[in-house]
Chain A
Amino acid sequence: MAGNKPSRKPASSSGSTRRPPRRRPQPHQRSFSGWINQHKHAIRFSLKRLWFNPVSTWITLAAIAIALSLPASLSLLLTNMQTLTDDKREVPTITAFMKENISEQQTKDRAELLQELSEIANVQVVTRDQALADFKNITGFAETLETLDENPLPHVLILTPNLERLGDDKVLQAFADRLKSYPEIDSVQIDVEWIQRLRAILRIADHVVLVVAVLLGLTVLLVIGNTIRLDIENRKEEITVTRLIGATNSYIRRPFIYGGLWLGLFGGTFSLIIVNIALLFLVSPVQQLASLYGSNFTLSGVNPLMSLQILAVSALLGIIGAWLAVGRFLWRDEVVD
């Protein structure tokens, strides 16, 4: 009894004589194919359960999808803004605006002098005429600009700092102040400034997204856990019966874990669909806005890696939620009537 299960061949009885049970290895227990079969049954059964409870399934999936799409779209937004700042990070430039009464020749002289400085890698002179022409091309303000009697723009020097000398933000700032003290120069702008500020904001936003993601991830966990818990309550009778017949805890647990996995996986898929649809709405207005700024920035969508990450996280949340719900149940004492 404790060893192998004896088995009998049906319809081979030889009358009333009692024969000791023949022994043969149990082919369907503990074998790998048996394990695979159990998983197949659990998968088939859990999918069927989802399919036959459409209302609760869809509500749960919608809750999961919405909860997941919020952090997903926020982090997408951040990624996009980061790429926006990444563009310029490698070439910080200093723009020096000359005073209005400074002539083109004076500007070029100053440029030559600045070129000598070791802090400066390159100096580019943009005359007011050039600047006006560029401005017309870029912004489409051509007609408005035509109405002006004279060019309102000053001459400009665009300085590329030598990063070996001016790599540090503070040193860069000090150098900018020094430039400002030149009599020809009206004002100085470090165009990495706004990027630095934006990056600081983005760092904060990063943390906010993380907090939101954790909270909403927890929500998904609870939603799935609760759905599975209700499912377990509905199937208490079934669990009791299968236990009486000899089901192991892992056998009882398996369909519920798969149930959680499906909820997580399908919920994650729906959240990806939601995010992508939202992106479709945003692409053309963003492109319009970017073109107004003379940028060819395009909104980057959810890349395959990120999609996989979202699916993996949601699937994992589903498994954990289900596991917690079933574990709580299985630890209760066995009930026998």
Chain B
Amino acid sequence: MIEFRGISKRYAAGQLALYNVNLKIQAGEMIFITGNSGAGKSTLLKLIALLERPSKGELLVGGTPLNKLSRHQVPAYRRRIGFIFQDPHLLYDRTVFENVAIPLLISGMGLVEIRRRVNAALDKVGLMHKAGSYPLMLSAGERQRVGIARAVVNRPTIILADEPTGNLDPALAQDIMYTFAQFNELGTTVLIASHDHMLVERMKKRIIVLQKVEE
């Protein structure tokens, strides 16, 4: 499903984030990426979402080398990925419902279907009762869950989560992880970057540990 072939990433500022990463992830797998901060966890996810381009090496997703995708194909590719950011990047002038609906609006879905899907996604993250609230009225954890609902509402093939439980208390963090596991059971490939070793160990999934590149 996802294959890294000798991927290196050096940012314009000069720091080397990833060096010669070779990695194969099967479709429907759930994988944790751990490592100290600065080890390149975020970069690895961003490369898959095409938010960054590798400096070296080849990255294949679903058999397609990503460097072959043209500027025009990128949006359609991204719509098949649900990305959960460390900062959920919600739009503060829209309600929770409207925020979660954005990916579906982009896909051109009708309002009835949108309502059904958004409610389902909000239900999944336990925020049905907050549908009409604005992000500023929510706690950090609730905002993060809105971000998750938005990432999964379009039923992506791949879910990428960058520290999704960073702002959550342990019980809630566990809950969120189980939610991801549920999506995974339904066939979605899930990659989660997290530095919470305890939590990651408990999930009993494949774990990839990144180490900081020594130059």
Bound CA–CA A10/B1 (angstroms):
21
Bound CA–CA A41/B155 (angstroms):
21
Q: Which residues of B contact A248 (CB under 8 A)?
A: 72, 75-76, 106
Total residues of chain B contacting the partner, CB 8 A: 46
- Give the one of A12, A22, A37, A249 with max B CB within 10 A: A37
Within 8 A of A (CB), among B85-129: 85, 89-91, 102-111, 113, 120
- Give the one of B64, B77, B80, B90 with max A CB within 10 A: B80
Total residues of chain A contacting the partner, CB 8 A: 42
Q: Which residues of A contact B46 (CB under 8 A)?
A: 336
The verdict on A31 contacting B108 (CB below 8 Å), with A18-B28, A244-B51, A246-B76 known, is yes
**Is there contact, CB below 8 Å, between B78 and A241?**
no
> Is B61 among interface residues, defined by CB-CB distance under 8 A?
yes
Bound CA–CA A3/B109 (angstroms):
20
Bound CA–CA A241/B108 (angstroms):
17
**Is there contact, CB below 8 Å, between A245 and B187?**
no
Bound CA–CA A302/B8 (angstroms):
68
Bound CA–CA A36/B79 (angstroms):
19
Q: Could you mark each residue 264-284 of chain A with 1 if its beta carbon is under 8 Å from any beta carbon of chain B, else 0?
A: 000000000000000000000
Bound CA–CA A36/B110 (angstroms):
9
List chain A positions with a Cβ less than 8 A from chain B. Answer: 1-3, 5-10, 12-13, 15-16, 18-22, 28-29, 31, 33-38, 41, 237-238, 240-249, 251, 336
Q: List 19 other contacts, CB 8 Å, given A1-B61, A251-B75.
A: A1-B1, A1-B62, A1-B80, A5-B80, A6-B187, A8-B187, A13-B185, A13-B186, A15-B185, A18-B187, A19-B187, A21-B187, A31-B108, A34-B109, A35-B108, A244-B51, A244-B89, A245-B79, A246-B76
A-B contact pairs, 19 of them (CB 8 A): A2-B62, A10-B120, A20-B187, A22-B187, A28-B104, A28-B107, A28-B108, A29-B76, A36-B108, A37-B110, A237-B91, A241-B102, A244-B51, A244-B78, A244-B83, A244-B85, A246-B78, A248-B106, A251-B75
